[in-house]
Structure 1
Amino acid sequence: MSEYDFYPGFHFQVEFISADFGTNDSRFQTIGGLEVSMETETIKEGGENRFEYILPTKTSYGTLSLKRGMMRNSDLIDWCNRTMQTLEIKPVDILITLLNEKHEAVMSWNIFHAWPKKWSVSDFNAMNNELTIETLDLQYLYFTRD
């Protein structure tokens, strides 16, 4: 394995580290929102109109989006519903691991203090023969990459 190996993005696993959700609650079709960006502030130089300085102010992290086929019973969705109904936030930590063809971890992301921000279900359409997909958007404080 070289430091320049490339890995497909379809073989991954999700673990909810600080919660006891069922085994099926760790299977997802799509994961998105692993992103961080630097917010900036623009400062104009006094007396010199040709220059503006763009300075970093803070980092901001995206919203983690997890998609899967809708299931009848789900501890994960129960947690989401409780949070939405009571506004009692009980954050969880999440480990997302990219796997190689031998099911070995090649890279992982530790997501800290995630909580449900949005839960949605795909449209029902009598003209399509598709699975019903549920999407769970989780807000988080930050992530680290191993």
Structure 2
Amino acid sequence: MADYYPPLGFHFKVEFNAFPGEYAFQSVAGLSVEMETEQIAEGGENRFKHKVPVRSKYPKLVLKRGLLVDSEIIRWCRNALENFEFEPTDLIVKLLNEEHQPLMSWNVVHAYPVKWNISDFDAEKNQLVIETLELNYNYFNVM
């Protein structure tokens, strides 16, 4: 009989379809979905309004990692943000087990960069420079 425990969230990787080999990120945020609703008033019913589902809504996907000076992903981001040349791509976020095999995967569809941020430089601190990528996307599928 297998033991079932909630998985740990520190063992994961991000695979961009367009950029193989670049998958080491320190954190991933924004894998959530929310249902938008619309209120409809019914004639003669004054106690409540009906709430009906309209569409799914996805937040920005936020990826963080140590700054890589020569990175295809950053060239892709800069090309979009500086030259307004967008090339959407799909990516997969994989939560891994202790054997480095996927427990769950999120296939993120039609992602493109909307923000690139570099952490502050501070001569009084000894820490890595962190880059943050914010991506819009259409939706994701859990695999």
Secondary structure, in 3 states, of the residue corresponding to 1:26? coil
Does the C-alpha gap of structure 1 residues 81 and 110 become closer, same or farther in structure 2, counting only changes over 3 Å? same
1: CA distance, partners of 2:140 / 2:4: 23
1:98 paired residue among 74, 86, 95: 95
CA distance in 2, matches of 1:37, 1:127: 41
Overall identity of the aligned pairs, in %: 48
Q: Give the aligned partner of residue 5 of structure 2.
A: 5
Question: What is the TM-score normalised by the length of structure 2?
Answer: 0.93
Instruction: Give the deviation of 1:123 after TM superposition.
Output: 1.5
Offset of 1:86 from its aligned partner? 2.0
Task: Tell me if 1:109 matches 2:109.
Answer: no
Q: CA RMSD in A?
A: 1.6
Partner of 1:38: 35
SS of 1:28's equivalent? coil
The CA distance in 2 between the partners of 1:121 and 1:82, in whole Å, is 16
Give 1:78 shift. Answer: 0.5
Select the residue among 70, 77, 102 that pairs with 1:73. Answer: 70
Aligned residues: 143
CA distance in 2, matches of 1:2, 1:57: 40
* Structure 2, gaps ≥5 residues long: none
- d(CA) in 2 for partners of 1:58, 1:104: 33
CA distance in 2, matches of 1:2, 1:40: 40
Other structure's SS at 2:55 match = strand
- TM-score normalised by the chain length of structure 1: 0.91
Q: Specify the alignment match of 1:15 in structure 2.
A: 15
Q: 2:121 aligns with which of 114, 120, 124?
A: 124
2: distance between equivalents of 1:76 and 1:127? Answer: 30
**Runs (4+) off by over 6 Å:** none
Q: Where does the alignment leave 5 or more consecutive residues of structure 1 unmatched?
A: none
From the superposition, tell whether residues 57 and 2 of structure 1 become closer, same or farther in structure 2 (CA, over 3 Å): farther
Q: Distance in 1 between matches of 2:68 and 2:19?
A: 17
Say if 1:43 and 1:4 are closer, same or farther in 2 by CA, change over 3 A: farther
The alignment partner of 2:43 has SS state of coil
